[in-house]
Structure formats: C-alpha cells, structure tokens
Amino acid sequence: MIKKIVHNRQAVIGLILISVVLFTAIFSPILVFNDPLKGRLENRFLDSSSEYPLGTDQLGRCIYSRLIFGARYSIGIALPILLVTMIISFIIGIVSGFYGGLIDRILIGICDIAMAFPPIMIVLVLIGALGQGMEGLVISIIISIWVWNAKIIRSAVIVEKNKNYIIAARIDGSSNLKIMFKHITPNVASQILVLMSLGVGDIIIMISSFSFLGLGVDSTLPEWGAMVGVAKKYIYSRPHLIVYPGFCILFTVIGFNLLGEAIRDICDCGYGEHNE
Amino acid sequence: MIFYIKKRLFSLIFVLIGVTVFSFILSNIAPIDPSEAYVRRKNVSASEEQIEAMRKEMGFDLPIHKQYFIWVGNAVKGDFGESYTTGVPVIKEIAHAFPYTLKLVGVALLIIIILVIPISMLCVRYKNSFFDNFIRIITLIGISTSNFWLGFIVLYFFAVVLNVVNVLSYGKMENVLLPAITFAIPIAAFNIRVLRANMLENVNKDHIIYAKARGIPNRILIYKHVFKNSLPPVITLFGQTVGYMIAGTAIIENVFSWPGLGNYALKAIIDRNLPAINAFVLIMGVVFVICNLLADILNMYINPLTLKKMENYK
C-alpha cells in the first residue's frame, strides 16, 4: 500500500502539498518576522518590503505572518473535527451495519432525517442556536457531517460481513466484537482513509466559509476565511488581500483532494464521495 | 413504479415529521429567551411583567409538546408567525426572497448542464489527451476552491479587469449571471468528474465492445450507448445537488449582496429571529426531500432496471 502510494504521482504531489502546509502550521512561530495579531495603523496598506514580505493589511498587520499562522488555524481546527467525526461515524456505521435489525433501522432512520438537510444548512442553524464562535462552529460541523460518513461505512461493512472469511471466522468461534474489530475493520480501513482524506478538504472549506460569513472564528484572528471576510471591503482597491488567503485555502485543499483521490484509485473503492 | 412512488411518498411523511421535530428542537435549544429579546428590542428597560406578558402572548408558557403542535398546525397553513425584527409575517418575507434564490439556482443549473454534458463526453472520447488532462486539472481546482473566494475573483475579473459589469448594480434581477457562474463552477467540476469516471467504467463493458465490433462510429457510441447508461448515478447526485444549491446559497448571496433566501436566513440567524429560522429550516427540508424524490423517479423512468433492483430490496 505504502509502496503503491509512493509510486503514484498524484499521491506524491498531494503529500508534498500537505507536508508544506503541515510544516508551516507546526513551525509557524519560527517562520514569521512579525506578530500576526498586532499592527500599527500608520503602517496600513504598505507594499511588500524586507520587513513585510507581502505588505500589510488594513490594520497594519503583516500579511505574510497572518497567512503563515492561518495554516495553524485551518489544520488545527479541521483535524480534530475530522478525528471526532470519524470515530462517531465508524462506531455507528460498524455497529449498525454489522448487527442489522432494529438497531440498524433506528440508526438509519436518524441518518435519513439528518440527511434531509444539507450540511451547510445544519451548520448555519446550529450556529444560530449555539451562538457564534469557535465552539459553536466545531460542534455544528461535527453534527452536520457524521451521518454521511456513517452511511458509507455502514454500506462497506454490510458488503464485508457477507463474505466467506467472516463465516469462516464465525465457525472458528470468534466473538462478535472480534469479528467487528479484527476482521471487518482492517478491510474497510482503506475506505475510511479515503473518506478522511477527502473529508479534510470539505471541512477546511466549511470552516473558512463560516469564518468568512463572520459566524466562525473571531474575525481578528488570522484565519484564511476570516481574512477574506474582513478584506471584502477593499476588493477594488486592494484585491491581493483577498487573493492570498484564498490561494492558501486552495493550495491546502488541493493537496488533500489529490491524496484522497489517489488512495481511492489505488484501493479501487468507488468513485464519488456520496457513492454508496 | 406507481407502487414504488406510493411507498416513497409514505416514507416521506415520516421524514417530514422528523424534519418538523428537528427544526423545532433546533430553534428551542437556543440559549436566549425570544420573548425577552423581542420586548427588549422595542423597549430596552422593559420590566419583568412586560416580558412575562409577551411570553404568554407568544405562547412560550405552554408545555413544549403543545407549542410544537401549535407551531406545526400553523406551519401547515403557511403561517410561520411574525418576524421578530420587522413584524411582517415571515411567509411574506420568504415569498419575496424565494424567487431570487430560485432564479439564481435555475441559471446556475443551466450553466452546470451546459458545461457538464459536453465536456465529460469529450473527455471520454479523447481520453488521456491534452484536453482530458487539462479538464482534470481545472476540475480539481474547481472542487478545491472555496465558493466565497471564487465569487470575489469572478467579481474582480468581470468588474475591474474586463469592466463589463457595473459593480454598483448587482443584486438586481438582471445581474444574476455572475453569482450563477460562481455558484456553478465547483458543482460543475464535481459533476464532470463523476460523469467522466462513470462513463469510463461503462466503456469497457461487453455491450460497448460488441457495438464497436458492429462498426458503430465512436461519437454515436459515446452518446447512445455509454452516456445514457452512465446517467443514473449522476441524476441521483444531481437531485441532491439541487437541494444543496437551494439551501446553500447563503455564501454566494452574501458575496454578491443577492436578496435571496440565503441572505435572509443569514440575517435571521445573526438576529436570532426564531420564526424566520424555523420557517427556513422547514421549507429547505421539504425542498431537499422533494428534489431527492424527483431524481429517483427520473431514474426509474430512464432506467427501468433500477426499479427491479428496488423491488428486490423489499
């Protein structure tokens, strides 16, 4: 598997892009020259110079430093969200798919109702209920997307559990738990990996979209979406204030999408995100 | 087929009940007291009695299940209450905003169909050519961009670089093109990828090889045999996409100051305008479910095999 990934050009490009972003996120304090939060008003809208490589924004803050720190926010919020959703989706998907019957019906019923709303709307309304800010955003995104993943994992589990090796394991006297986690889990792992990798991109876009609307992270923070949201007033005079952060989002999301699609091709599991 | 539609309509009732419960719960977990908010908006130094009276008037002193039934009963009649901020009936405001959203979605859908079908067919016909690879890169960028950013890029490009759009007049009905293009690009990119992959999978099937052996030219082959057989999963996806689009206009509408439902909902959420949020959630849930159902029916019409599969599931 790892060998295949290394030999896949698409996967390698994706990995390189992701590594760049991760590197930036981890080492951002070393990479910047200025404080991304503090600026001096007399320095506003400066052109690029040796002190400010990409110039300054409307409050005189260093754009370059803010972009570098933005990686921290996007990755730092998206990865925990991804982890929590995948754990919830995995447990519900595997239990529901494996046991079937009443548990399955109830869980799938809940999924169907939740899926009657597009995720973006659930997030909007939940933020309305829970209040604006980082916590509200994180909880809403988790609530809005776990169902989709749970359903895909469930379908994968149903396919696996009817295969002969599961019957063999059962004859062998394996317990339900052992079959679920030792036999089925490794065989659906590649699909989960694909879901995770393609999911990061969506989550990053969601975070930045809601921050752009002013419903996510605080607008003074150097989050890429929030930066675009604040800079929209200056679109005609200073378009670069919008172009740079958007480009950073694009760069990151392309990395994860490339990797996810490459893994999907390698494992040959389905072609669409919502494909069941 | 009629039987299947009836069955779907029946299960639809349960989903709709779920939708109403869900939207009711959502608006009730809000940590603020709407009657207090309402009174304070009009009179900052409102007394406890005034708030209590308002609570009675709005029915918030009743037990929660009674509130739910009253709300559903009114909602079925199209009465979602009055907006807390303007005092106008919510249904009136929504009826005003809805045509804008529908127009935006309609034009965007048109652009998507115009882009998706020919481009994915060409990609399949000239697989691995320069054109195919170019489209693959473009669509990858398309599915990876954030909508709001793309909106500004499109706006800047048309208004400043090309100077063909008057920046001050957007928001009017005529200027639907820019938001529609922005809206369409990521969705079209995603659909091109799905349809292309689907068609490529069908190209290697036996009946296609047989048709090739019969000497049918490539272009007819691709349209008549490959394309039509690749449609069903795309239609299912498309039905979902339309629902998404109608509910997901908030970001685009915000960028282009488009006075549709998305902007209305956004404002309602920021103002904590509960009747408006409730109505928005309920209407969107219904629209989304209906779009999915229509896509399924269309699929059955195009491909009777899906119906057989459904019958096997029973």
> Chain A within 8 Å of B290 (Cβ-Cβ)?
no
Contact of B223 with B211, CB cutoff 8 Å? no
Cross-strand bridge partners of residue A62:
A56
Contact of A142 with A169, CB cutoff 8 Å? no
DSSP B210-259: HHHHTT--HHHIIIIIIIHHHHHHHHHHHHHHHHHHHHT-HHHHHHHT--
CB contact under 8 A, B26 and A129: yes
Q: Read off the pLDDT of residues A1-26 as tens digits, 9 standing for 90 and up.
A: 777 778 888 889 999 999 999 999 98
Distance separating alpha carbons of residues B153 and B172, to the nearest angstrom: 20
The single-letter code of the amino acid at B285 is: G
CB contact under 8 A, B149 and A120: no
| DSSP H or E segment with residue B86 | none
Note the CATH number of domain A2-267: 1.10.3720.10
CB contact under 8 A, A116 and B248: no
Cβ neighbours around B307 below 10 Å, total: 16
CA-to-CA dists, residue B188 to B79, B120, B180, B193, B241, angstroms: 37, 10, 12, 9, 10
Q: Read off the pLDDT of residues B192-222 as tens digits, 9 standing for 90 and up.
A: 988 888 888 888 788 888 888 888 887 788 7
ipTM field: 0.83
Distance separating alpha carbons of residues A231 and A242, to the nearest angstrom: 6
Axis-axis angle for helices B274-302, B261-271 (nearest 10)? 140
Distance separating alpha carbons of residues B189 and A11, to the nearest angstrom: 20
CB contact under 8 A, B144 and A257: yes
pLDDT of residue B198: 84
Average pLDDT, chain A: 83
List the single residue in B with minimal CA-CA distance to A200.
B144
Distance separating alpha carbons of residues B176 and B169, to the nearest angstrom: 11
Distance from CA of B150 to the nearest CA of A (A): 8
Determine the residue among A74, A106, A120, A124 to mutate to test chain B binding: the one whose Cβ has the most chain B Cβ atoms within 10 Å: A124
Distance from CA of B169 to the nearest CA of A (A): 15
| Segment of B142-146, B256-260, B302-306 carrying the highest mean pLDDT | B142-146
Distance from CA of A166 to the nearest CA of B (A): 23
Q: Which residue has the tokens 């209920």?
A: A129
- Split at pLDDT 50, 70, 90, the class of A254 is very high
What residues of chain B, 75 to 134, have a C-beta less than 8 Å from chain A?
A: none
Rounded average pLDDT over B160-187: 76
CB contact under 8 A, A225 and B152: no
- The residues near B251 (Cβ < 8 Å, ≥ 6 apart) are A120, A209, A212, A213, B147, B148, B151, B262
What residues of chain B, 224 to 243, have a C-beta less than 8 Å from chain A?
A: 233, 237, 240, 243
Distance separating alpha carbons of residues B95 and B81, to the nearest angstrom: 14
> Chain A within 8 Å of B192 (Cβ-Cβ)?
no
CB contact under 8 A, B143 and A112: no
The residues spanned by each domain of chain A are 2-267
Q: Which residue has the tokens 């804008």?
A: B100
CB contact under 8 A, B251 and A257: no
pLDDT of residue A275: 36
B-chain residues near A242 (CB < 8 A): 149, 152-153, 156
Residue B168 pLDDT > 60, yes or no? no
CB contact under 8 A, B18 and A131: no
Q: Which residue has the tokens 């006075």?
A: B259
Distance separating alpha carbons of residues B80 and B277, to the nearest angstrom: 10
| Cα angle for residues B50, B53, B57 (degrees, 5° grid) | 135
Q: Read off the pLDDT of residues B60-115 as tens digits, 9 standing for 90 and up.
A: 667 777 778 887 888 777 777 777 777 788 888 888 888 888 889 999 999 999 99
| DSSP H or E segment with residue B101 | helix B90-125
- Please tell me the number of Cα atoms within 13 Å of B160 on its side-chain side: 12
What is the radius of gyration, based on Cα positions, of chain A? 22
CB contact under 8 A, B156 and A239: yes
Could you say which of B27, B153, B237 has the minimum Cβ distance to residue A272?
B237
Distance separating alpha carbons of residues B88 and B95, to the nearest angstrom: 12
Distance from CA of B98 to the nearest CA of A (A): 16
Q: Read off the pLDDT of residues A30-52 as tens digits, 9 standing for 90 and up.
A: 877 777 777 777 777 777 777 77
The single-letter code of the amino acid at A184 is: I
Residue A272 pLDDT > 50, yes or no? no
Q: Read off the pLDDT of residues A75-134 as tens digits, 9 standing for 90 and up.
A: 989 999 999 999 999 999 999 888 888 888 888 878 877 777 778 878 887 887 777 778
Rounded average pLDDT over B102-129: 89
